């Protein structure tokens, strides 16, 4: 291949030349194009190889799971549980068999307070509710359930409580402070 430059135009002493592009430059150009197609194909078309984003998402999910498992009664863990219909359903069963006698079938209150309003005697944070279920208020007529139900059922029934709060079912009149 001739590397001689070809003069295309010459006006007023100014030359425009048509030079061959150097081979090393062409090599990089074509290599980049081929790489681009390869990259697009592997990451965006086949989709079998994890992108950095996939790896990141998987790591965050694993971390979150580990954190929930390390502290299963944290507010975060109970809130996560309350978004899982299967867990809430199990909590509902515990409620029906253990709590409904005093708090009524839908939680609207009988002897015990209405758990569907936004008024709370002992706070409505997941941690407050877990404590209420675990320790009860023996001097006020609610037995402690922690040892009888075990931690798993306590968590599930608490998750269920989160799903009925704010439904404001007609039942026992509000008691305690209004908590938003």
**Binding-site string for ligand HEC from residue 82 to residue 101, where x marks contact by CB under 6 A and - marks none:** ----------------xx-x
Q: What is the 3-state secondary structure (H, E, C) of 93-112?
A: HHHHHHHHHHHCCCCCCCCC
Question: Is residue 166 a contact point for ligand HEC (CB under 6 A)?
Answer: no
Within the chain, what is the greatest distance between any pair of CA atoms? 108
Q: Residue 18, SS3?
A: strand
112 with 103: CB under 8 angstroms?
Answer: yes
Query: C-alpha angle 85/89/94, rounded to 5°?
Result: 150
Residue with smaller CB distance to ligand HEC, 48 or 107: 107
Which residue in the block uniquely carries the two structure tokens 């037995």?
A: 143
**Segment lying near ligand HEC (by CB under 6 A), choices 11-19, 28-36, 37-45, 130-138:** 130-138
Which of 109, 113, 126, 171 binds ligand HEC (CB under 6 A)? It is 113
What do you get for the CA distance between the two ends of the chain, in Å? 81
Q: How far is the CB of 103 from ligand HEC (least distance, A)?
A: 5
153 with 173: CB under 8 angstroms?
Answer: no
**Segment lying near ligand HEC (by CB under 6 A), choices 10-18, 31-39, 61-69, 114-122:** 114-122
Residue with smaller CB distance to ligand HEC, 7 or 111: 111
Rounded alpha-carbon distances, angstroms, from residue 19 to 1, 11, 24, 30, 32: 12, 18, 14, 18, 22
Question: Is residue 78 a contact point for ligand HEC (CB under 6 A)?
Answer: no
110 with 120: CB under 8 angstroms?
Answer: no
Q: How far is the CB of 112 from ligand HEC (least distance, A)?
A: 3
Question: Is residue 171 a contact point for ligand HEC (CB under 6 A)?
Answer: no
Question: Is residue 112 a contact point for ligand HEC (CB under 6 A)?
Answer: yes
- Contact residues for ligand HEC (CB under 6 A)? 98-99, 101-103, 111-113, 115, 120-122, 129, 132-133, 137, 140-143, 145, 157, 161, 175-176
């Amino acid at each position: 291949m001739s590397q001689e430059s070809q003069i295309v135009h010459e006006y007023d002493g100014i030359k425009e030349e048509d030079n061959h592009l150097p081979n090393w430059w062409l090599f990089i150009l074509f290599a980049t194009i081929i790489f681009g197609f390869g990259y697009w194909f592997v990451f965006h078309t086949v989709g079998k190889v994890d992108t950095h984003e996939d790896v990141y998402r998987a790591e965050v999910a694993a971390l979150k799971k580990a954190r929930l498992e390390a502290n299963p009664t944290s507010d975060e863990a109970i809130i996560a549980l309350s978004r899982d219909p299967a867990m809430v359903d199990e909590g509902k069963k515990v409620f029906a068999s253990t709590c409904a006698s005093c708090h009524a079938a839908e939680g609207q209150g009988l002897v015990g307070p209405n758990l569907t309003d936004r008024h709370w005697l002992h706070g409505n944070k997941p941690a407050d509710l877990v404590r209420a279920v675990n320790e009860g208020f023996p001097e006020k007529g609610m037995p402690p359930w922690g040892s009888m139900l075990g931690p798993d059922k306590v968590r599930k029934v608490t998750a269920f409580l989160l799903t009925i709060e704010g439904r404001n079912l007609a039942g026992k009149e509000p008691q305690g402070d209004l908590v938003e």
